[in-house]
Amino acid sequence: MTHNTRSVFEKHPKKTVMILLFLLLLGLYGLLSWKGINNQYTEFESKNVKTILRQYFVGKVVESNVGRFIKLREHAPLTVRLERPSRNYISHIAPNTVERKYYRIATDKNGFIGPSIIHTNPDLQIIFLGGSTTECLYMQEHERFPYLVGRQLEAALHKKVNTYNGGVSANESMHSLNVLMNKVLPLKPQMVVLMHNINDLVVLRSQGTYWYPHSLKSHVQNAKTLLTRYEFPATKHQATEQDLIAEFSMNLRTFIAVCRIRNIQPVLMTQANRVEQDDLYHRFNEVILEVGKQENVVVIDLAKAIPKQPELIYDSYHYTAKGAALAADTISQQLQPLFT
């Protein structure tokens, strides 16, 4: 009696090779998908190997064919994605105020957060520019204040109104000026509403200027900055608080001037907040009011209108759905007389 001592490979060579190849590819995919980089000082929590490789080759193409370019910080046009706050975000930033679930972000052909193009031929187009406090990421689509303002104005004015949410997390006023020049002006809106404060303050405190290199948020980008993970480069600057105030003020005045040259009505808004101990932050809100008065521009003082309550503002700056509804009421009431 003889024993069959052949191995599995000898018995089934083709099947064994296919299984081993599948396992190898599966392991390689897992390795490439592993998020092995984590830096608390970056815009994104982690980056996997696939992303690094893709950005490397994109960087090579940019370096060879584009060179330096101005980055338009916007949501990708015509996309639908679901965003869910992390457990860390919920526990440390928004405890008991933001539900940890998926929130829908759908954009129109110009990268504005929808619903935006309600009417094909609207009577009024109003565009809101700002950072995450305009974006209103962690709430339902129909709860974000730029959308609500449109519906309230439409009911009050009996006109077809489209409002566009141009808020992008971490954008400061220079980013919004880029968006204004390159994306908003071609739409020929009747009005553009600008709200900035904290993101400008963070940038100016860190860099002393809006023109800073080697960052995810730099306005002038190149192939190398496509790969960087640093939010802001380490910088020692000599700018005083008065210098920072002057920089912020000049951006507000630039926004007003561009809008007026293009026959668009500019509107400024202060930023509602629950900030207690930051005098310069509150000074920036005062600057918005002062510039509005000096330039004869309407300023909607949300910092005054929205009570400093956690059920309205879940951290220091960001609205809950209830807070966004109150903001929408305030904004629409103050904009109505401008269209009658």
Which tops the pLDDT comparison, 95 or 156?
156
Tens of pLDDT, residue by residue over 270-307, are 999 999 999 999 999 999 999 999 999 999 999 999 99
Closest CA to 248 of 296, 294, 281: 281
pLDDT band at 228 (very low <50, low <70, confident <90, very high): low
Report DSSP letters for 277-332, one per residue. S-HHHHHHHHHHHHHHHHTT-EEE-HHHHS---TTTBSSSS-B-HHHHHHHHHHHH
User: Is the pLDDT assigned to residue 243 strictly greater than 80?
Assistant: yes
Q: Does 2 have pLDDT greater than 70? A: no
Q: Which of 79, 73, 166 lies closest to 126, judged by CA?
A: 166
pTM of the model: 0.84
Report d(CA 328, CA 143) in Å as an integer. 9
Position 38 pLDDT exceeds 80: no
Calpha distance 169→297 (Å, rounded): 26
CATH architecture for segment(s) 68-339: 3-Layer(aba) Sandwich (3.40)
Residue 192 has φ and ψ, to the nearest 5°, of: -130, 130
Query: Which residues are 37's β-sheet partners?
Result: 47
- Cα 278-282-286 angle, rounded to 5 deg: 160
Residue 52 tokens read as 């690094």
Domain definitions of the chain by residue range: 1-33, 68-339
Contact 216, 231 (CB under 8 A): yes
| Cβ contacts of 263 within 8 Å, gap of 6 or more | none
Averaged confidence pLDDT in the chain: 89
Mean pLDDT of 151-167: 98
% of the chain at pLDDT higher than 90: 66
For residue 45, what pLDDT is reported? 41
